[in-house]
Amino acid sequence: MDRGRLTGLDALRGVAALVVFLGHVGYLTGFFAIPASYLAVDFFFMLSGYVMARTYEHRLGDDLSAGAFLWLRLKRLWPVCAVGSALAIPLALLRPNPALEIPLALLLVPTFTFGVLYPLNTPLWSIFFELLANLMHGMVLRRISLGGVVIVAAVTCLAIAARTHSYDLGSHPRSFLYGLPRVLLPYSMGVWMWRKVRDHPPRMRPAWAVAPVMVLAIFIFSAGPDGATRVAFVVIVCPLALLGGLQWNAGKLGIIAGALSFPLYAVHFPLLSRAAFYGQSIWPAASLAIVSAALLAFAPKLARSVALMAKRAG
């Protein structure tokens, strides 16, 4: 493999975003339930660690400071997150403290007085912790061997999950501090895997099978008890999925799925929760979320292409 696009990882990113999306649809409709759909977020964290190490680690501490690295990540993530939060403003205006809630959400600042960290757009809690992991990567993780970090984070996550009987940690004020070891475990594993395997993982065939296997594993864990057992998904299923994704040539379909993944993740919840608040059907809102994600993913590129064609024609 070369240093180009890893379309298998793009495809898995899309699959993970779809699992989160369907999990929220199922929660709000009661039509079906995927209680462990949040485990797809842990795969996002691991994928981020791998991709950030692959893309930036050779520059960190050289021509790229930790602050500059964090700024690059903010420029990449914030615009789409802001759109997602803006979609929730009409609903936020009906809440008791919109003057506080709206600007904090737009600035990606967590709140501790509304029951969840990001009441306008709940999934943004994971973006906050991913950015925190990026900062730690630039400041500390790039300098040290990560085997011990992974072990300590895994033991900590097991202890917390066993104590709380939950692994859905980090999104609520009461579990905020637990979000740090939760993101540190998969993110550090992702960085460690890049250092160990690069783009040449052990042979796995058929590589495409990692996508249905990951989804099946999430459904299996959904049927079991929450808590410490779900850490097994992070330390076993996620690394195997990442290794398989490295070998999977998903082509244009993978690229499209990857492009849609983050916009869908960032905008779907405000649209779904608004429909639920007004007692409307979730399905039109779900369809609108997919359309909105597609517009965010592809409209800017299409506009640039049209502008370039017009410039050449003129």
Total-model pTM: 0.93
Q: How high is the pLDDT of residue 3?
A: 55
Block means of pLDDT (10 residues each) for the chain, 314 residues, are: 77 97 91 89 98 95 93 95 92 80 89 85 96 97 96 97 94 94 98 93 87 95 91 96 94 95 96 91 95 92 66 65
Spell out the alpha helix ranges (H) of the chain. 7-29, 39-56, 66-87, 89-92, 98-106, 124-139, 147-164, 179-197, 210-223, 231-232, 238-247, 251-277, 282-313
Q: How high is the pLDDT of residue 303?
A: 64
Long-range contacts of 150-158, Cβ-Cβ distance < 8 Å, separation of 24 or more: 150/185, 150/188, 150/189, 150/192, 153/181, 153/184, 153/185, 153/188, 154/185, 154/231, 154/234, 154/235, 156/181, 156/185, 157/181, 157/182, 157/185, 157/231, 157/234, 158/228, 158/231
Q: Return the ∠ at Cα 247 (arms to 243 and 249), rounded to 5°.
A: 135
Q: Is the dihedral of CA 80, 211, 171, 46 positive or negative?
A: negative
Q: How high is the pLDDT of residue 1?
A: 40
Q: How high is the pLDDT of residue 194?
A: 96
CA distances, 237 to each of 75, 214, 225 (Å): 31, 7, 17
Could you give the percent of the chain with pLDDT greater than 90? 74
Distance CA(53)–CA(125), nearest Å, equals: 22
**Cis link prior to 123 (omega < 30° from 0)?**
no
Backbone angles phi, psi at 60, to 5 degrees: -60, 130
Helix, strand, or coil here: 60? strand
Q: Return the ∠ at Cα 170 (arms to 188 and 40), rounded to 5°.
A: 60
